[in-house]
Amino acid sequence: MGKGSKRKHQKKIDESIDSESETQTQGLTTLLDPPKPKKARKVVPDSDLCLVGPPIAPAEARQRWPHRYQSKNKVKKQAVTEASNDEENEVLQARNHYVEAIVDGCRYKLGDNAYVKAEDGNLDYIARIVEFFETVDQEPFFKAQWFYRAEDTVINKDNAHLIDKRRVFLSDIHDDNPLNCIISKVEIAEVAPDNDSAAKESRIPDSGLYYNMKYSLQHLTFKNIFTETSKKDNGTSSVVSSECGSNNTSSEVQRFDKSQKYLLDLYSGCGAMSTGLCMGSSLAGIKLVTKWAVDINSFACKSLQWNHPETKVRNEAAEDFLCLLKEWEKLCQKFSLLEPNKPSETVSSETGEEDDDDDDGQGCEEEKEQEQEKERQDDSGSEDSSEEFEVERLLDICFGDPNKAKKRGLYFKVLWKGYDKSYDTWEPIEGLSNCEERLKEFVSKGYKSNILPLPGSVYFICGGPPCQGVSGFNRFRNSNAPLEDVKNKQLVVYMDTIEHLKPRYVLTENVVDILKFAKGFLGRYAVGRLVSMNYQARMGMMAAGSYGVPQFRMRVFLWGSHPSERLPQYPLPTHEVFSRGGVPIEFEEIHVTYDKKDSCQLESALTLTDAISDLPQVNNDESRDQRNYGTTARTEFQKFIRLRRKDVINLTVDSRHAPSLGMLCDHQPLQLNPDDYDRVCHIPKKKGANFRDLPGVVVGENNRVEWDTTMDRVLLKSGKPLVPDYAMKFVKGRSTKPFGRLWMDEIVNTVVTRAEPHNQTVIHPSQNRVLTIRENARLQGFPDCYKLFGTIKERYIQVGNAVAVPVAIALGYSFGLACQNLCGDEPLMTLPFKFPNCLARSSQIEGGDSD
Ligand SMILES: C[S@@+](CC[C@H](N)C(=O)[O-])C[C@H]1O[C@@H](n2cnc3c(N)ncnc32)[C@H](O)[C@@H]1O
């Protein structure tokens, strides 16, 4: 049995199991032609194992299963046309087809479901019977369309406990089996894909199973059954089927309705993922707005807030944020803003109305704080000061331990009557029991202005929960129980947040290690959690370089969509970048790429020249974080990446942005210490240069470095060795990365969070320094107007952590199509634009001089 075989063996079910067409007559039956006598061999119906009844009329059988009637030999080799390859497949040839069969005295009809014998030690398989036929050797056979149990899917046995034991998934995998493999009948109810458990329970037979989704090996997809048929109803857009390699600019992309949808960016970093998603969805005509963002890193929050004044940025741990959301829901219920246990509809974002953006969550809103301070000063002038502490107003809310007093809980920031800002304190909710009115005021206002998301009010959650426990660099990885490793706990927090808020769409990003570590446990867990919540899900692995940046950077993206929504597709590459690094074989199917045989015109991969050759020269000790360009753009990429904020899609401009308009920001390198700088100055300016080119190092057998014994060790001015020991020992002397110099015709492997040259190739091709923050930002596809905050190291971290902007744009576009029901059922789609041209609000951008 070929159950679980790979994509090339998949076939679509082309046979309908329509009982009316299962005519019991032979020959073409029309109203005028009476049934002709049956000529086919009559099968004895009372045998224990046999096909029963008269065979299906030959003409009808040949029409429905033509591939079974092509030869008198047992099998016929034929090209598999439905799967995406030309390999030959053996098709069992038939004498006759039947409608019924008897196995062990039990009668089966076409369309019945049955347990099918598996290899010893395995649970019996589950199949839908889609064909009964007698082979040319007169053997009774059936064709099975397989159901998968959770443990047979990508979720696998380690995470199968997440899924209801009675739940199975229909697949498109078929194969032929001798009739005697059937063991017993099983009832499998098709239930509606929504979450109404009472309705579901009423449909599930007592000893039976149920299904509401199909499972496909292509991109390991779990998808509602209903969307298969709904496609025809919604007029699939021509946007989806545009030619691959199209050079359209954003202005040529069709725009659809403008309703506003709210995005929550969890683990937002400086906001690259949500920035790109909102840009991409706007290209599809959807106004997606990052309403809330959460990150534990205050500098990342500051960057996000500056670039997105419209976002309520919360600088807190995601686990605290989740506790806060639960408390917030209770408070909204308490003050009758929400019905108990009913998702919030009142704050639905569908209306497209802007909220009153009053008191935000704790964040980087310095300007608002200044305003509040002014208000208080005004107020305090008109009020009598009193020694008694009285709450004037609640300013903010958080969950955690804001006073660092080892007392976690729900806290409010209090403005005390008669006292200024410097006296504000965080007070636990228990201490505010006699301030119900103030509390009510705060909650009502916060509810109205959406300070926090409520279940049902978030349309889309995106996030890259850190899973540091999977990193290949982490020597203490716990591969037996990956979720018990606190470094991987965030994946659970993230999924719990999804479970609480129940958004319509989810997009999760992670490193490829999530599929490698512990046999992909965490990736499987993420899918299992989504499917257990009844989300449709599919996985894709995308290389940033394939979308128009000179950086390879492979990442995993997991889509989830609510049962009533379309599951987004993966956008196919626009640029030709060759695969580097392997993935486990079970996950090869998720690589988002063209089939080799598809002829398509991809753009050539970009190089460092394309991306950074226009940037002015800077020294190792550059201190300005803002300067004039002093140069003009030399390439298409540079022209578009330099666009001013007002010319970039989806970025707002306000007074805070004025000082940096037209300026080049963050073009500063990590300042190397004098020894490292000295070393970098010794690295020749040639392609492929690294520490191996320094005097005293020779390359021996197996590409390992050795000390040159014919000479003394060369020393720096400081007396330290020119070639440090760690460079010689790195990867047992086989690495070429220490003090590696990049070259302008190259594409980098991946932009990382640290800029030290000790074990990575980060030195500028022609200058004696590492790549600057801005150069890295360009390799990640950030427009130059996206300014970053924090120390130099912090800014490198934000850029290195980010989702490459063009990848997020491409995925945002897919989302935009899906949420308008404009995408197809197939997992892949072509983009009608390319990066960075798509950044332009208008395609009429002239010139590129930003100085
Ligand atoms: C991979 S980065 C996300 C990058 C982001 N998606 C982007 O595109 O810019 C992961 C982020 O998780 C944040 N983080 C780590 N632990 C956290 C926690 N417990 N709560 C909230 N944020 C956390 C880090 O500060 C980091 O910014």
pLDDT in tens, 155-173: 999 999 999 999 999 999 9
Tell me what pLDDT residue 116 has: 97
Cα separation, 464 vs 441, whole angstroms: 35
Is the shortest distance between the CB of 317 and ligand 1 below 6 Å? yes
Q: Which of 411, 413, 415, 423 is nearest to 375 (CA)?
A: 415
Tell me what pLDDT residue 456 has: 93
Q: Model confidence at 315, in pLDDT bands (50, 70, 90)? A: very high
pLDDT above 70 for 86: no
Tell me what pLDDT residue 385 has: 47
Tell me what pLDDT residue 361 has: 40
pLDDT above 70 for 349: no
Cα separation, 361 vs 367, whole angstroms: 14
Q: Which residues, at least 6 apart from 238, have a Cβ–Cβ distance to it below 8 Å?
A: 254
Tell me what pLDDT residue 562 has: 95
Cα separation, 9 vs 173, whole angstroms: 7
- Average pLDDT of every residue of the chain: 85
Tell me what pLDDT residue 12 has: 30
pLDDT above 50 for 41: no
Cβ pair 591, 541 in contact under 8 A: yes
Is the shortest distance between the CB of 512 and ligand 1 below 6 Å? no
Eight-state DSSP code of residue 9: G
Cβ pair 778, 802 in contact under 8 A: no
Q: Model confidence at 595, in pLDDT bands (50, 70, 90)? A: confident
Is the shortest distance between the CB of 557 and ligand 1 below 6 Å? no
Cβ pair 524, 159 in contact under 8 A: yes
Nearest CA to ligand 1 atom 25: 297
752 Cα to the center of ligand 1, angstroms = 14
Tell me what pLDDT residue 251 has: 33
704 Cα to the center of ligand 1, angstroms = 37
Cβ pair 267, 315 in contact under 8 A: no
Cβ pair 729, 723 in contact under 8 A: no
Placement of tokens 């040319």 in the chain: 136
270 Cα to the center of ligand 1, angstroms = 9
Residue 616 has phi, psi (to 5 degrees) of -65, 155
The pLDDT tens digits for 782-826 are 999 999 999 999 999 999 999 999 999 999 999 999 999 999 999
CA angle 241, 247, 248 (to 5 degrees): 70
Ligand 1 atom at shortest distance from the alpha carbon of 317 = 20
Nearest CA to ligand 1 atom 27: 269
Q: What is the mean pLDDT of residues 165-187?
A: 96
What is the amino acid identity at position 96? N
Eight-state DSSP code of residue 657: G
Ligand 1 atom at shortest distance from the alpha carbon of 270 = 9
- Residue 394, both tokens: 């609640």
- How does 32-59 read in b/e, with b if 16+ C-beta sit within 10 Å? eeeeeeeebeebeeeeeebbbbbbbbbe
Tell me what pLDDT residue 255 has: 33
Ligand 1 atom at shortest distance from the alpha carbon of 275 = 8
Tell me what pLDDT residue 394 has: 98
Tell me what pLDDT residue 200 has: 79
Cβ pair 488, 522 in contact under 8 A: yes
Rg (C-alpha) for the chain, rounded Å, is 32
Is the shortest distance between the CB of 781 and ligand 1 below 6 Å? no
- Residue 343, both tokens: 């998702």
Q: Which domains does the chain have, with CATH numbers?
A: 7-212 (2.30.30.490), 258-355+459-603+806-822 (3.40.50.150), 366-380+388-448 (2.40.50.40), 626-805 (3.90.120.10)
493 Cα to the center of ligand 1, angstroms = 13
Q: Which of 559, 509, 556, 560 is nearest to 534 (CA)?
A: 560
Cα separation, 279 vs 289, whole angstroms: 9
Eight-state DSSP code of residue 167: B
pLDDT above 90 for 317: yes
Cα separation, 802 vs 808, whole angstroms: 10
The pLDDT tens digits for 375-390 are 555 544 444 444 678 9
Is the shortest distance between the CB of 266 and ligand 1 below 6 Å? no
Query: Under the phi-then-psi rule, with left for phi > 0, alpha for psi from -120 to 50, and beta for the rest, what region is 105?
Result: left
Q: Which residues, at least 6 apart from 721, have a Cβ–Cβ distance to it below 8 Å?
A: 713, 714, 715
pLDDT above 90 for 50: yes
Ligand 1 atom at shortest distance from the alpha carbon of 462 = 6
Active site residues: 467
- Residue 419, both tokens: 């006292």
812 Cα to the center of ligand 1, angstroms = 20
Tell me what pLDDT residue 586 has: 85
Q: What is the mean pLDDT of residues 67-87?
A: 73
Q: Give the lowest-confidence range in 6-20, 279-293, 721-735.
A: 6-20
More confident residue, 530 or 81: 530
pLDDT above 80 for 351: no
pLDDT above 60 for 677: yes
Mapping DSSP onto H, E and C, the string for 344-403 reads CCCCCHHHCCCCCCCCCCCCCCHHHHHHHHHHHHHHHHHCCCCCCCCEEEEEEEEEECCC
Is the shortest distance between the CB of 96 and ligand 1 below 6 Å? no
Q: Which of 311, 243, 235 is nearest to 277 (CA)?
A: 311
Strand duo 828-829 + 570-571: pairing? parallel
Q: At 72, is the secondary structure helix, strand, or coil?
A: coil
Placement of tokens 């007002």 in the chain: 646
